[in-house]
Structure 1
């Protein structure tokens, strides 16, 4: 028996009973944290407010302000965590498809085209990433998702050497444009391919090659995008 176990035994409380209460308390905290995150997420998806305030969130969750502060110090803190989780889930879904080819130019093209698919099949997720993820709102996984391929393309002389910020803006601008346009009824079916080709040309890929890459077969099961929001919070601590 450890010293801690002996201490509990000395006051007449079995170690197992204390451990059980700790697990129950931990699960209760996890449920409340998930409730706050899911409430903020629902507000974003429903577009009821551009960036939910604490009052918005506690009203949706039906909890007190004091309860909120037990888990998050501010509305910015919960948004930072939430956007990070959405971005991580997007990268988790898209990364295997993007990385199934060795060419960094192909990676960039596939990422842009997948972003347009996301807008069609999961407009709620696309809306969140469009407003916050690719505009620099604390989504490090997405920054790394794009940065690694830009740097690899420059290193392999696939892309023109330029400031990483400029290259990043080219790629994310094309991805956001594709997401927004694909939601419009009059959008051309091949808009995402055109956006990918334009981005590659801006990065320094020869025009004919950029066109060929942007129209190469992209096999992505739409089921991969299903329930992305649910999976976003499934492992919330």
Structure 2
């Protein structure tokens, strides 16, 4: 058997490790400071690499933040979508998704802080989180569960509600059922009757599992430790409500 040249594979693995290192360092910085306040110097210092190494992987800090947004969204979809898909009703799936992502503020505040710092999602661009919301909104309109409206408008209702909920839920003074209140309000805006919207938004819901792999799994423990140094701890609120 001929000897195989493993150098290309080893080089590819090395590149992927360095890319993950840069992304992980940036995630911790952006979650703590925001993308506007995160510089190349901050990232290369945290990752302990040179400026030249940074530019081998990303042309600018903005490009790195965009890549971070995609990776975080991919990790969230990997976890949340199986729980969402268990529901056959598209309205319940939308409510479930809103609650799961908003509840990041309680159970994974570093990831939630990163999503908030990124700001309003671009409903016209590439966004893995919005892709599965778009699927459920389209199905709901097709079934007559939601009123007909332009898809960007419906996506703005959902994404704006989620970002606003996370903003509030990162604060200790926020109502404990704010995720459910947000889900019900969004369903009403989409055309679901009030009592039905309230019932769907308060159905039992499993905890979002811990991130088993990917960027968030590797970086959140450190990011959470840094966040804990700056903010006092608070008790977990229950995810389920009757």
The TM-score normalised by the length of structure 1 is 0.82
CA distance in 1 between partners of 2:68 and 2:23 (Å)? 7
Correspondence for 1:104 among 90, 96, 99:
90
Are residues 1:59 and 2:45 paired? yes
1:193, distance to aligned residue in structure 2 (A): 1.3
Larger radius of gyration: 1
Number of equivalenced pairs: 218
Q: Which runs of 5+ in 1 are unaligned?
A: 6-14
Q: Which runs of 5+ in 2 are unaligned?
A: 220-242
- Contact (CA 8 Å) 2:146, 2:191: kept in 1 or not? yes
**Counterpart in the other structure of 1:26:** 12
- Contact (CA 8 Å) 2:79, 2:209: kept in 1 or not? no
**Counterpart in the other structure of 1:119:** 105
CA distance in 1 between partners of 2:142 and 2:23 (Å)? 40
SS at match of 2:6: helix
Correspondence for 1:183 among 170, 192, 197:
170
Correspondence for 1:160 among 130, 147, 170:
147
SS at match of 1:224: coil
Are residues 1:209 and 2:182 paired? no
1:112, distance to aligned residue in structure 2 (A): 1.3
SS at match of 1:46: helix
CA distance in 1 between partners of 2:210 and 2:48 (Å)? 32
The TM-score normalised by the length of structure 2 is 0.80
- Contact (CA 8 Å) 2:137, 2:146: kept in 1 or not? yes
